[in-house]
Structure formats: C-alpha cells, structure tokens
Amino acid sequence: MKLILSDCPLSIQLPDQGDVKWIDLSRLNIANCVGCFGCWTKTPGRCVIRDDAVKVYPLIARSDTLLYISRIKYGGYDTVMKTMLERAIPVQQAFIRILAGETHHVQRSVVPKDATILAYGDTGEEERAIFRKLVARNAHNMNFKTYRIFFCREEEVNDFTGKELKAWNVC
Amino acid sequence: MERVLILNGSPRAPRSNSKRYGEIFAACYGENAEICPVTRGNHQELRDKLDGVSHLLFVFPLYADAIPVPLLDFLKFLEDHPPQKRPAVSVLINCGFLEPQQNEIALEMMRLFCRQNRYPFASSLSIGSGEAILNSPFRFLAARKIKRFARSIARGTPQTLSVTMPLTKKWFVAASTSYWVKYGARWGTTQAQMQTMEIQ
C-alpha cells in the first residue's frame, strides 16, 4: 500500500481506491509518547495510549511506498510529524541488532519502504544539511529501502505533492 | 561558579534516566545547580528562571533519532519568548544504542537552535548505552565523564565529550537482550512475546 502522512491539510484529490491512503495528522488527536516502553515490554506491538496514533502506525508498517510531508524545525521534523514518529515505536522490538555496522532496534512486520520526504518551510542550507543526515539515520530505524528528500516553501506543498502523486500514477 | 539551570527534557521526566544523569551532574557541580523537568504547563515558569542563571543545561534522551517532542516544544516557546539575557547552553544527551555518535544529529539540532537564537553553545556530553549504563558495572565511566563535563562548565572551558560501555557490538547485543528480557519479566512478558511480529 501507499501512504501519505501530512502535518497539514492538502488540496489534493485522491481516487477512491484502497491502495492509497492519505492521513492529515493535524486533524488527529495524538498524544506525546511517554516513554513507558509498554509497547516493547508490557503489551508488545501495541501502544498503551489508545488515541488516533494507533490507527496510523500499523499503516506505516504495512506501506511499501511513503510520502511524509512536514514542516522542518531546527533541522528535524516539526511537532506534528515528530509526535507521530515517536508514537510509531510499537513497530520495533526492544531488542537490538547490528545493522550497517551500528546497533539498531529489531523491526516487527515492517515492509521495506521507498520513502519520499517533502520538508517545507523557510529553511537554509545548514538546516537542510541536518535534515538530510536525520533522514539517512531514520532510514535504518524506519526500514527505508530507498529515500528521496525534497525541500520547498509552504506555499509550494500542494504543487510538489501533486507532482509526486503523478509519479506514483495516482492522480 | 556559574549558576546552572538543569532542564530535564525526557518525556518520562520523573522516572527517567535523564533525571538520574541530571542528579549526578548536580552532585558534581554543587549547590549552584537546580533541576527542573520540562512539562507542557511550565514553559513560562522555566523561561522566567532563565533570567537568574548564567548557564542552561539540557538533559534528554534521543527519540526517533532527534530531540523529543516536549523539549522541541519548549525550544519553540523560548524562540517566541526569549529571556532578557541569554545563558550559555550545554547539552547532555543519551541514547539506548551503543554508539554515542547516534546522538550527533540531535546535538546538531541543539547547536542550530542556539545559533538561530543567539545562545552561546558551551559543552556537550553524548552517552551511548544510556538506558542501561547506570545499572551496569560501567556506571563509574558515566559518572567520571559527567564529573569532567561539570568541571568544564564550572571553569567555562567548553568540551565535547562522549562515553559508552566498553563492549563489542556483539557483546552489547547480548547484554541488551538480557536487560530487556528482565525488563519484560517485570510485567510477566516472555522474550517470545516481546519478539512478536504483530503490530496492533
């Protein structure tokens, strides 16, 4: 399946088909991760906070193609997207493996992904450089098979999204 | 000696490893250190405290390869409500992985915040194996490095420091597996249950 996660409303029309899902995180009720490790040790694979995040992280795990659309802040994802990414740790196990010469968490049933990240906002090259490093590191922990990063201004988000969906043969 | 405000940016602040790291730092630093958690409701109170200190120490864990959301929100608040005089900033960050360098991106984000908002950046201490090191025979390594970190802040001589367990990656995987199996046992959860591939 293909999944679009955005931290803002978008002016896009998606065909009514089951293979593509768009979630506007800004419309959901998602609390901060409290770092309880419940999803690793008490109810493995299941977050103990039963809010809207529990509808999202299984979709992240199942998707083979991802588009994340997020404002960028201090070289990272801004609050809305970052809150969801932190709440997605039930897709990992507590246990550690060696991957690409580093220690990382073992993944549960997480499909390898082709990820596209659209990072928007008034960013300079310094902030973009940090974000590129962040996504490269995320790739190990979020099972990205490939990833591409695009930067744009806020007013360009809909245009960029439309182009990406055309590349997916969705619109 | 400079007065230091230690802000615990862990989402589980009251029972976090960051709290323990902050307490070790405070014990090394002396009476001029005060520890406060960052919560959703105390941003203004913490900002007001900044007017009375010359040094601000952020202590937090790595979350999804970056700064945890509660701390990110506080940084954004500070950006909108800057103190009259900006203290120097130091960072103590810990991650559960063996490699302290996995903290580097979060450190770069903190340095960027400081540059963008004109806070002088001072020292950093990056801790690997930070979930378990304080409960291991290697606790003394972390404590010793925190002492050195505190000294660098007290003397105003910035340093970039790191520490982790002196284990091979394979030994670390074995030790961390044992650690998490015991952790799960507290809840009556077996290793096989913790290894479920199902996501709910």
- B4-62 pLDDT, tens per residue? 999 999 998 788 999 999 999 999 998 899 999 999 999 999 999 998 899 999 999 99
CB B109, CB A130: distance < 8 Å: yes
pLDDT tens digits, one per residue of B122-167: 999 999 999 899 999 999 999 999 999 999 999 999 999 999 999 9
Interface of B with A in 128-157 (CB under 8 A): none
- Phi, then psi, of A121 in degrees rounded to 5: 130, 180
Q: Looking at residue B154, which CATH number applies to its domain?
A: 3.40.50.360
Which among A33, A61, A74 is the nearest to B75, CB-wise?
Answer: A74
- pLDDT tier, B82 (very low <50, low <70, confident <90, very high otherwise): very high
pLDDT at residue number A60 = 97
Look at chain B and report how many structural domains it folds into. 1
Summarize the confidence of residues B167-189 as an average pLDDT.
96
Q: Which of A24, A29, A30 is nearest to A10 (CA)?
A: A24
Is residue B196 in a domain?
no
Is residue B24 in a domain?
yes
Domain spanning A2-167, CATH class = alpha beta
Per the listing, tokens 């203004």 go with B44
Which among B10, B183, B189 is the nearest to A35, CB-wise?
Answer: B10
CA of B25 vs chain A CAs: smallest distance (Å): 22
Is residue B54 in a domain?
yes
B15: contact with A, CB 8 A cutoff: no
Residue A76 parent element (H or E): strand A76-77
Range of the domain at B133: 4-190
Interchain pair A95, B76: CB under 8 A: no
Is residue B200 in a domain?
no
- Calculate the alpha carbon distances from B107 to A47, B70, B89, B110 in Å: 28, 16, 12, 5
CA of B64 vs chain A CAs: smallest distance (Å): 6
Summarize the confidence of residues B90-109 as an average pLDDT.
97
Is residue B198 in a domain?
no
